[in-house]
Amino acid sequence: MIKIANAPCSWGVLEFELEGKAPGYVQVLDEMTETGYDGTELGDWGFMPTDPRKLETELDKRSLKLLGAFVPVLLKDKSRHADGISTALKTATLMRDTGATGAFIVLSDENGTIAERTKNAGRVTPDMGLKEEEWKIFCEGANELASRVKEDTGIRTVYHHHCGGYVETPAEVETLMDSTDADLLGLVLDTGHYKFGGGDPVEAIIKYSRRIWHVHFKDCEDRIAKLSREKKWDYFESVRNGVFCELGKGSVDFPSVVKQLRRIDYDGWIVVEQDVLPGMGEPKECARHNRDYIKTLRI
């Protein structure tokens, strides 16, 4: 049975250093519950309690499940692998000790820190990608992290393709999937990032059905994406201008996405992520709209 969650990033709690102040975890969790969600991702380390008993108490009193935690690592740099693995193990241990044994480490590139990729998000060209030796280091690092996390904590790892970093385009996702261990590393399909990166999420489900262990629902507004290309906005300008809009208001074909998820017997979590940056709007109302929209999909 597919279950519906939200994530702190929908309240402006993001891994980037941005202007504005996001709400605290108490407000975020309360509003998730009030708008009808059954689970949450962890958010940045330290946003929620890092004591497993306290975190478990906060989740249990709202009947929320913890199902994942975002861990960005600059995988193309071998010298960063050890610190990335350490962070992933610390995060996975917290989730395990909270009782979230079915949760995932959501591994990603260190998005927003590579100038060329950040500047050209949504319109990267092959010459901006990883070179052969960099791909080798990148994929070895992803495999090693996933292996260590699974061995030490029992938690599995999924990779989050993400605009503004490496592994954005469909071709890059394909290279990653072809070059990593299918038993160790799954894919979290983010519908909005895949669309903004030039792909069709429905085709991705068909292509990677065995590797899709986790799903993020994010919409993509084609008009804003077109403006981003024309005006040469960077990743953050595109997000601030609403490229990731409320569900159902963009170009992602969610009815077909749901149809394909059912075809592959997907029975995990769908996590809503809208990236409502601090000061952009009313996260609670966006969360309510998104939950209501998902109900129309009969999930």
DSSP state string for 148-190: HHHHHH--EEEEE--TTSSS-SHHHHHHHHHTS-TTTEEEEEE
Quick one: average pLDDT of 179-208? 98
Q: How many domains does the chain have?
A: 1
Phi and psi torsions of 56, nearest 5°? -60, -40
Compare 279 and 147 and report the one with higher pLDDT: 147
Residues 6+ away with beta carbon under 8 Å from 172: 129, 130, 161, 166
pLDDT tops 90 at residue 275: no
CATH of the domain at 243: 3.20.20.150
Q: Which amino acid is at 278?
A: P
* Contact by Cβ (8 Å): 167, 161: yes
100 DSSP 8-state letter: -
pLDDT band at 15 (very low <50, low <70, confident <90, very high): low
In a 3-state reduction of DSSP, which class is residue 294? helix
Structure token pair of residue 173: 């996702």
- The predicted model scores a pTM of 0.96
Q: How confident is the model at residue 60 (pLDDT cuts 50, 70, 90)?
A: very high
Res 228: pLDDT: 98
The predicted pLDDT at position 276 comes to: 76
Q: Which of 15-29, 181-195, 267-281 is predicted with the least confidence, judged by mean pLDDT?
A: 15-29
**Residue 71 scores a pLDDT above 70:** yes
**Which domain, by its residues, includes 171?**
3-296
Residue 101 DSSP code: T
**pLDDT of amino acid 192:** 98
Average pLDDT of the chain is 95
pLDDT of res. 286: 94
How do residues 225-268 score in pLDDT, each as one tens digit?
Answer: 999 999 999 999 999 999 999 999 999 999 999 999 999 999 99
Return the pLDDT at 79. Answer: 98
Q: Give residue for tokens 């595109």.
A: 238
Calculate the CA dihedral of residues 164, 89, 106, 187 and round it to 10 degrees.
Answer: 110
Q: In the predicted model, what is the mean pLDDT of residues 197-211?
A: 98
